[in-house]
Chains A and B, each alone.
Chain A
Amino acid sequence: MKLLKYPRLVQDQILNYTVYSDLFLLSLLSKKMKNLIKSYQVTRFKHITSIVYDSYTIDHPLVHIGCRPFSILKFSEYEETANVKFQLNISGKMIDFQSSDEYYCPVALFHPHERESVIESIHNYFLDFFETSVEYHWITNNYKISIPRLKNLAVCIHMFIPRRFEDMKNLDNFFSSCPVLKSIDIDFYADESLSPESESRLYQAESIRTTQFDQKTPAVLRNFQGRQAFLMYFACDVSDLIEFVNRWKSGEAFRKLEYLTILIYREGIPRDETLNSIGARHIDATRKPPTHTVRKSYIDNPFKPMTDPIMSHSYVVRDSDNRVASVLIEGNTLSFGVWDKTEEEFLRMVD
Chain B
Amino acid sequence: MSSTEQGTSSAAPAEPTTAPESAAAPEVPESFYYVHGKDKVVHKVSAGALQHSALIHGMISNLGYTEEQAKANPFPFENIDGDILQMVVDWCNQHKGKPTPPEDTNLPKQKEKLFDLVLAVNYLEIKELLTYCCKQVAMMVKGKSPEEIREIWMIPTDAEDEAAEKEAKKRAGKEAAGETAAAAGDAK
* A positions within 8 Å CB-CB of B: 1-4, 6-7, 9-10, 13-19, 22, 25-26, 28-33, 85-86, 88, 97, 99, 104
Given contacts A1-B114, A1-B152, contact A19 B122 (CB under 8 A): no
Given contacts A1-B115, A1-B137, contact A30 B155 (CB under 8 A): yes
Residues of A within 8 A of B145 (CB): 25, 85-86, 97, 99
Q: Which of B14-22, B91-99, B127-135 lies on the face that meets chain A? A: B127-135
Contact A3 B155 (CB under 8 A): yes
The reply on B163 being an interface residue by CB < 8 A is no
Partner of B150, one of A13, A18, A19, A29: A29
Contact A13 B130 (CB under 8 A): yes
Please measure, in the bound complex, the distance between the C-alpha atom of A3 and the C-alpha atom of B137, giving whole angstroms: 9
Besides A7-B122, A26-B146, A86-B145, 20 new A-B residue pairs in contact (Cβ under 8 A), listed by A number = A1-B111, A1-B114, A1-B115, A2-B115, A3-B153, A4-B156, A10-B134, A13-B130, A16-B138, A17-B135, A18-B138, A26-B149, A29-B146, A29-B149, A29-B155, A29-B157, A30-B156, A32-B156, A32-B158, A99-B143
Contact A14 B134 (CB under 8 A): yes
Within 9-32 of B, Cβ neighbours of A (below 8 Å) are at none
* B positions within 8 Å CB-CB of A: 111-112, 114-115, 118-119, 122, 130-131, 134-135, 137-147, 149-150, 152-158, 161
A25 and chain B: residue at smallest CB distance = B146
Please measure, in the bound complex, the distance between the C-alpha atom of A110 and the C-alpha atom of B147, giving whole angstroms: 21
Q: Binding site of B, secondary structure by majority: helix, strand, loop or mixed?
A: helix
Please measure, in the bound complex, the distance between the C-alpha atom of A122 and the C-alpha atom of B123, giving whole angstroms: 40
Residues of B within 8 A of A28 (CB): 146
Contact B146 A14 (CB under 8 A): no
Given contacts A22-B144, A99-B145, contact A13 B134 (CB under 8 A): yes
B135 and chain A: residue at smallest CB distance = A17
Contact A1 B146 (CB under 8 A): no
Given contacts A10-B122, A26-B149, A86-B146, contact A1 B112 (CB under 8 A): yes
Residues of A within 8 A of B122 (CB): 6-7, 9-10
Please measure, in the bound complex, the distance between the C-alpha atom of A22 and the C-alpha atom of B130, giving whole angstroms: 21
B153 and chain A: residue at smallest CB distance = A3
The 25 sampled A-B contact pairs (Cβ below 8 Å) are: A1-B111, A1-B112, A1-B137, A1-B153, A1-B154, A2-B154, A3-B137, A7-B122, A9-B122, A10-B134, A14-B134, A15-B138, A16-B138, A17-B135, A18-B138, A19-B138, A22-B143, A26-B153, A26-B155, A30-B155, A30-B158, A32-B156, A85-B145, A86-B145, A104-B143
Contact A19 B157 (CB under 8 A): no
Residues of B within 8 A of A7 (CB): 122
B110 and chain A: residue at smallest CB distance = A1
Please measure, in the bound complex, the distance between the C-alpha atom of A25 and the C-alpha atom of B150, giving whole angstroms: 10
Contact B141 A6 (CB under 8 A): no
Contact B149 A25 (CB under 8 A): yes
B139 and chain A: residue at smallest CB distance = A17
Give the 7 A-B residue pairs with the shortest CB-CB distance, closest first. Answer: A17-B138, A3-B153, A1-B115, A13-B134, A1-B111, A2-B154, A18-B138
Please measure, in the bound complex, the distance between the C-alpha atom of A28 and the C-alpha atom of B111, giving whole angstroms: 22
Given contacts A13-B130, A86-B147, contact A18 B155 (CB under 8 A): no
